[in-house]
Structure 1
Amino acid sequence: MGKFYDSIPPNLMKWIEAQQMFWVASAPLGGEGHVNLSPKGLKGTLHIANESQVWYEDMTGSGSETMAHLREPGNGRMTIMFCAFEGTPRIMRLFGHGRVLEFGTPEYEELLPPDVRHPGSRCVVVVDIHKVGTSCGFGVPQYAFLAHRPTLYNWLAQLETTEQEHDAADGAADPSSEPRVAEKGLKAYWRKENLKSMDGLPALQAAHISRTTPTHAPPRGEWGKEGNALHHAVRKDAGNGAARPSLALQKPKAVFGGMDAAEVTRLVIAFSLGVAITAVYIQMVGGPC
């Protein structure tokens, strides 16, 4: 059965932190505007401040829909969703209102100083939660997690290197003039792609004109040479069949090869009892979710 809470249950906080990805949903107030749903999947970017607030480090991308919706006057609505692809099935939704802390502002710097900031981070999205919903997740497939892709961080780190080299050469510029940006740097990309939503709502307001030079923490194995090597190794192992499928999809011989007839019989009986008990429970409560 689905359940609702006023805040995040303490016993599920570690489960949230263990998820490798999540989704954020938002929409403009106008009925003709586009509803947005974005996957977020980079390790270490989501943080639980307390049972009623979470925040995540938002990476640069080709759109800025969530930011624009949160900044629309009278709006700010958003939902974060998690799904369990491994272990106990579960779906969790965090319903709340979000606000944006842009790169180059003191509020952003307080949460993400340069020694912890990831390449290409453009803002922090803080979500104040007013309702939490959980449901069974029986319809969510099981997947085996392999690794996070280093591609985005690698690309964004290059843009920031270009920005750093430009700012070092431009250090003598008049501080009262509008800051100049590297032609192929991060801020130029922000100006081109992140100033408005697809519906024309304002998105970035400060990051692209900030005088702060974007710097980030070292790779720590997430990107760069180590991240690339890990990603290629994982892809190679998966291509060679090293990533094993679920036991339920393997041939019976592979599952039961180490069991004698009595052990197999006991396993089948236990499984059958589990199915029967589940069926009775669903009948009693009126459905799995």
Structure 2
Amino acid sequence: MGKQYPAISADIEAFIEQQHLFFVGTAAADGRVNISPKGQDTLRVLDANRVAWLNLTGSGNETAAHLLEVNRITLMWCAFEGQPNILRLYGTATVYHPRDAEWAELLPLFPPLPGSRQIVMVTVDLVQTSCGMAVPFFDYRAERDELNDSMEKRGPEQVAQYWHNRNARSLDGKPTGI
């Protein structure tokens, strides 16, 4: 059965660290709701009420646009192996770009990954677990290399141009802060 907590406990942090995939949900006041899968070694639990994740270059930038307008966010993990569990962290978020002072402070928390676009700092105000008994088993094989390879080939200048061309506005035409 589902339980609610005001903060991330050691058990919940351990669960997060064992997962290979999480999902991010955001929405602006109007327009499309976005749910985005995230992988690689890009998330850190900073304390009982804060997590940060390194947002990599993607085909869109909906999360950043939504957070500029309405800074609410939900992160979700599902146990695809072991005991069934679904975990959601609810809160608010701030997006930091390479131009921001906070970027330099937070970036060392993560491995160097090409195409690192933003760091999203989430302040968690509710932690919720639920049963997850209907989530199927999936076997993790490996991380995909395609995104890192693509960003490496492009290099910083072409990545920045890609951000300008493809990541500066959301699907609904909202600015992303790029």
Of 133, 139, 145, the residue aligned with 1:138 is 133
Aligned length: 178
Distance in 2 between residues matched to 1:29 and 1:153, nearest whole Å: 33
Distance in 2 between residues matched to 1:116 and 1:150, nearest whole Å: 14
DSSP 3-state at the match of 2:118: strand
Q: Give 1:202 shift.
A: 0.9
The alignment status of 1:190 with 2:158, answered yes or no, reads no
The CA deviation string for residues 73-120 of structure 1, in whole angstroms up to 9 with x for no partner, is: xx101100000001011000000001100023221111115x943100
1:124 aligned partner: 119
Distance in 1 between residues matched to 2:76 and 2:29, nearest whole Å: 21
Distance in 1 between residues matched to 2:12 and 2:145, nearest whole Å: 28
TM-score of the superposition, structure 2-length normalised?
0.96
2:175 aligned partner: 202
Distance in 1 between residues matched to 2:80 and 2:152, nearest whole Å: 30
Distance in 2 between residues matched to 1:94 and 1:80, nearest whole Å: 5
Written as runs of structure 1 = structure 2, the 5 A alignment for 1:81-120 is 81-113=76-108, 116-120=111-115
Contact kept, 8 Å, 1:7 with 1:52, in 2: the verdict is yes
Q: Give 1:190 shift.
A: 0.5
2:36 aligned partner: 38
Written as runs of structure 1 = structure 2, the 5 A alignment for 1:146-161 is 146-160=141-155
Q: Give 1:34 shift.
A: 0.2
DSSP 3-state at the match of 2:140: coil
CA RMSD of aligned residues (A): 1.5
1:25 aligned partner: 25
Distance in 1 between residues matched to 2:121 and 2:21, nearest whole Å: 17
Q: Which amino acid aligns with 1:132?
A: V
DSSP 3-state at the match of 1:62: coil
The alignment status of 1:16 with 2:16, answered yes or no, reads yes
Contact kept, 8 Å, 1:96 with 1:131, in 2: the verdict is yes
1:57 aligned partner: 54
Written as runs of structure 1 = structure 2, the 5 A alignment for 1:143-182 is 143-160=138-155, 163=156, 182=157
Say which structure, 1 or 2, has more relative contact order (CA 8 Å, 6+ apart). 2
The CA deviation string for residues 186-212 of structure 1, in whole angstroms up to 9 with x for no partner, is: 11101001111111111033xxxxxxx
Contact kept, 8 Å, 1:194 with 1:204, in 2: the verdict is no
Q: Which amino acid aligns with 1:186?
A: V
Distance in 2 between residues matched to 1:117 and 1:111, nearest whole Å: 12
Greater Cα shift, 45-54 or 99-108:
99-108
Contact kept, 8 Å, 1:54 with 1:127, in 2: the verdict is yes
Q: Which has the larger radius of gyration?
A: 1
DSSP 3-state at the match of 1:133: strand
Q: Which amino acid aligns with 2:159?
A: L
Higher strand proportion, which one?
2
The CA deviation string for residues 205-243 of structure 1, in whole angstroms up to 9 with x for no partner, is: 3xxxxxxxxxxxxxxxxxxxxxxxxxxxxxxxxxxxxxx
Q: Which amino acid aligns with 2:152?
A: A
Q: Which amino acid aligns with 2:32?
A: H
